[in-house]
């Protein structure tokens, strides 16, 4: 295989693990030989709900392009105009030479959209959570983190040097015990509860009211990562807390532009002093080049479309309900999805890869997710939907799943009764 290479005789032992990864007896080599390896597959063309891979046109059911705006002509034009005016990049951090009037405009509009005093931009969503946690928490503080949180929250908690306690997913009795003990033993410690607003594998919305009650009781702040919630759920697409009418009560809300906003980057909104402190203390903001003009303009136009075309959200919710019902009626386990993220549990890891490969042959692209990203025995197809999917495309996806599920004997045996989204 071209991926394997014998180590150089005098190569440092540090790299031994790199060569072991490609051992012919390992999972990587086996999956490659069987043409079942689903990752890093190049997409040659993409126009929203359809994509071309290896020359074949596929229905895209594995994208986070929830509003379907990546191919919108208005969004493309905005990006092109910004490039013509400002060039292709800022060549510096926001702290020094990388702040454009476009950045300030977007921060103002996001703060207004979310009903918060201030917003700050970051160059990626991952860097947003990493930077926010690093800035607001430090030695002597305690972060309480849901065990199913995205990796960037875990990275930020580690980087912050605060003590981190991970509570069982959505287990508020467990979280309460942790908070109560910390409050008794370290009453002066700063406390922060950090959680995904929508969990990226289960499609489950965090139970924000319960989290806020605990935060209030134990003098803790609450931070929601609404990467998969902004532009997806809540009043006007304002996120997870908004679905409960509690957006104003959450202390910090973060989000990304790589999903509903058709670009890349991230943001944090909250009270003025807190956000301005983050702007000056988050290393991922200070020491990273700022968002390029074209990406900022893309987000501005996407935000405008979201606010002016609420029917996109209506269509997205209609599609989500249709697909959840469709999978369940076919006999598939979709956990407790409440959003356009709909997991379809397969079970066995190798079977999951075979299912993914068979769907490609049926003209449907989804994402294969295996442990440790999901519990053992709960390997799944992570499907996700956009407002621009047609009814015909949705039925094609369901038909493909039904055909492959029957062929591989998955329907009815795929983990019913087990859920990580409870």
Of the residues 103, 169, 259, 301, only one is catalytic, namely 259
Q: Which residues lie below 8 Å from residue 263, measured CB to CB, with a gap of 6+? A: 257, 295, 296, 298, 299, 302
Measured from the Cβ of residue 218, the count of other Cβ atoms closer than 10 Å reads 19
Query: Catalytic annotation on 285?
Result: no
Query: Catalytic annotation on 259?
Result: yes
Residue 341, beta-bridge partner list: 384
Nearest-5° Cα angle at 221, 181 to 241? 120
* Closest alpha carbon to 392 in 364, 360, 356: 364
* Rounded-to-integer distance, Cα 154 and Cα 362, Å: 37
Tokens of 161: 């040097």
* Closest alpha carbon to 289 in 126, 84, 99: 99
Residue 59, beta-bridge partner list: 50, 364
SS3 334: coil
* Closest alpha carbon to 285 in 130, 151, 154: 130
Of the residues 103, 118, 191, 228, only one is catalytic, namely 228
Of the residues 145, 200, 242, 337, only one is catalytic, namely 200
Torsional sign, CA 304, 228, 71, 384: negative
Q: What are the helix (H) ranges across 259-310?
A: 272-281, 283-286, 293-308
Q: Which residues lie below 8 Å from residue 74, measured CB to CB, with a gap of 6+? A: 301, 305
Q: Decide if 394 contacts 382 (C-beta within 8 A).
A: no
Tokens of 301: 């136009």
Instruction: State the angle between helix axes of 101-114 and 293-308 in degrees (0 to 180), rounded to the nearest 10.
Output: 30
Question: Dmax over Cα atoms in the chain, in whole Å?
Answer: 63
* Closest alpha carbon to 66 in 52, 49, 82: 49
Q: Decide if 347 contacts 414 (C-beta within 8 A).
A: yes
* Rounded-to-integer distance, Cα 421 and Cα 17, Å: 34
Query: Catalytic annotation on 263?
Result: no
Q: Annotated catalytic sites, by residue?
A: 200, 228, 259
């Amino acid at each position: 295989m071209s991926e394997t290479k014998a180590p150089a005789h005098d190569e440092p032992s540090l790299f031994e693990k790199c060569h072991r990864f490609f051992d012919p007896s390992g999972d990587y080599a086996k999956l490659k030989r069987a043409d079942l390896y689903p990752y890093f597959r190049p997409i040659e063309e993409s126009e929203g709900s359809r994509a071309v891979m290896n020359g074949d046109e596929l229905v895209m059911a594995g994208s986070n392009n929830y509003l379907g705006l990546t191919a919108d002509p208005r969004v493309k034009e905005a990006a092109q105009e910004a490039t013509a005016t400002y060039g292709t990049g800022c060549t510096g951090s926001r702290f020094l030479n990388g702040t454009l009037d476009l950045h300030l405009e977007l921060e103002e509009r996001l703060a207004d959209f979310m009903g918060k005093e201030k917003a700050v931009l970051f160059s990626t969503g991952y860097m947003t959570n990493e930077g926010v946690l690093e800035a607001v928490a430090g030695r002597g503080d305690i972060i309480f983190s849901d065990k199913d949180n995205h990796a960037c929250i875990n990275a930020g908690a580690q980087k912050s040097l605060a003590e981190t306690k991970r509570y069982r997913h959505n287990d508020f009795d467990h979280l309460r015990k942790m908070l109560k003990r910390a409050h008794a033993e370290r009453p002066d410690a700063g406390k922060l509860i950090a959680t995904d607003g929508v969990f990226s594998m289960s499609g489950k919305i965090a139970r924000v009211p319960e989290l806020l009650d605990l935060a209030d009781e134990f003098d803790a702040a609450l931070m929601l990562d609404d990467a998969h919630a902004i532009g997806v759920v809540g009043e006007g697409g304002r996120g997870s807390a908004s679905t409960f009418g509690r957006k104003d009560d959450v202390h910090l809300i973060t989000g990304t532009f790589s999903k509903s906003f058709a670009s890349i980057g991230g943001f944090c909104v909250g009270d003025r002093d807190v956000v301005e402190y983050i702007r000056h203390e988050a290393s991922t903001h200070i020491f990273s080049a700022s968002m390029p003009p074209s990406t900022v303009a893309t987000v501005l136009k996407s935000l405008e479309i979201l606010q002016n075309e609420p029917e996109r959200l209506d269509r997205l919710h209609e599609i989500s309900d249709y697909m959840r019902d469709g999978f369940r009626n076919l006999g598939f386990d979709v956990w407790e999805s409440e959003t356009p993220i709909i997991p379809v549990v397969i079970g066995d890891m190798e079977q999951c890869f075979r299912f993914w490969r068979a769907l490609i042959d049926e003209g449907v692209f989804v994402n294969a997710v295996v442990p440790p990203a999901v519990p053992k025995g709960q390997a799944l197809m992570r499907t996700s939907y956009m407002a621009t999917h047609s009814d015909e495309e949705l039925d094609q996806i369901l038909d493909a799943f039904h055909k492959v599920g029957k062929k591989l004997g998955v329907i009815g045996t795929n983990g019913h009764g087990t859920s990580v989204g409870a």
